[in-house]
């Protein structure tokens, strides 16, 4: 497990990582393939009635072009929908990865995150119109500015929604999420495993 965690944290090549643990490159590869899925985060299946969640998508640059597409950052990436608990800041749901050219509005449903959350109140940024999520107020056509109460609501909304950005920042301290060389489901297992380690750090 230490080898897997070291791989996710440092993103060293297997040729570099193997000698650090006294194993061959192929043995390190087998260990990661075997143990990576076992470290995966398990999504929460039930939520309290008063729970408030926050969702946002993050792009993970991925070299396996069979699961990735060129995204807005011009790199081949996968889109991951991540949902956190607004109160505890723990990751509660991670959707299946989709090609990076999927917008968040579409990825929310296709990744399975929407079904996992169900009817629980969930807030998001303005990239999720028409999804039923709580998003910022927008000016109507021809409207110069929003009413005062809507502006205040947007400020409060932004402050709370920033918590999911903070979660992304901590998760991307694991360098594999900056340039993932894993193939197939490897990127999904890495995100799930890092989400679990992120939660363990928060709960101590």
Question: What pLDDT digit, counting tens, does each position of 50-68 carry?
Answer: 999 999 999 999 999 999 9
Task: Kindly report, residue by residue over 177-192, the tens digit of the pLDDT.
Answer: 999 999 999 999 999 9
**Cβ atoms < 10 Å from Cβ of 61:** 18
Residue 189 backbone dihedrals phi, psi, to 5 degrees: -65, -35
Burial classification of residue 189, based on how many CB atoms lie within 10 Å of its CB (0-12 exposed, 13-18 middle, 19 or more buried): buried
DSSP summary character for residue 86: T
What is the model's pTM?
Answer: 0.91
Q: Which tokens sit at 112? A: 């399975």
Packed helices 186-203 and 148-171: angle between N→C axes, nearest 10 degrees: 110
Residue 35 has pLDDT above 90, yes or no: yes
Angle at 87 between CA 82 and CA 89, to 5 degrees: 40
**Is a pLDDT exceeding 90 seen at residue 160?**
yes
| CB neighbour class for 2 (10 Å; exposed up to 12, middle 13-18, buried from 19) | exposed
Average pLDDT over residues 161-167: 95
Q: Look at residue 72 in the predicted model and tell me its pLDDT.
A: 79
Q: Tell me the two tokens of residue 93.
A: 């749901």
């Amino acid at each position: 497990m230490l080898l897997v965690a070291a791989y996710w944290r440092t993103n060293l090549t297997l040729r570099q990582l193997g000698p650090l643990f006294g194993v061959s490159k192929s043995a390190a590869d087998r260990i990661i393939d075997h143990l990576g899925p076992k470290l995966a985060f398990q999504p929460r299946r039930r939520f309290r009635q008063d729970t408030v969640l926050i969702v946002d998508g993050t792009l993970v640059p991925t070299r396996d072009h069979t699961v990735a597409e060129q995204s807005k950052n011009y790199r081949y990436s996968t889109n991951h929908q991540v949902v956190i608990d607004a109160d505890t800041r723990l990751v509660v749901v991670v959707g299946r990865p989709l090609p990076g050219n999927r917008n968040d509005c579409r990825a929310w449903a296709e990744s399975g995150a929407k079904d996992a959350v169900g009817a629980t109140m969930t807030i998001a940024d303005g990239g999720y119109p028409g999804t039923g999520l709580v998003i910022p107020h927008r000016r109507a056509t021809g409207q110069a500015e929003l009413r005062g109460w809507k502006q205040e609501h947007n400020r409060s909304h932004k402050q709370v929604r920033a918590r999911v950005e903070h979660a992304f920042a901590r998760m991307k301290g694991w360098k594999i999420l900056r340039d993932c060389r894993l193939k197939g489901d490897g990127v999904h297992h890495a995100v799930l495993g890092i989400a679990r380690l992120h939660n363990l750090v928060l709960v101590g």
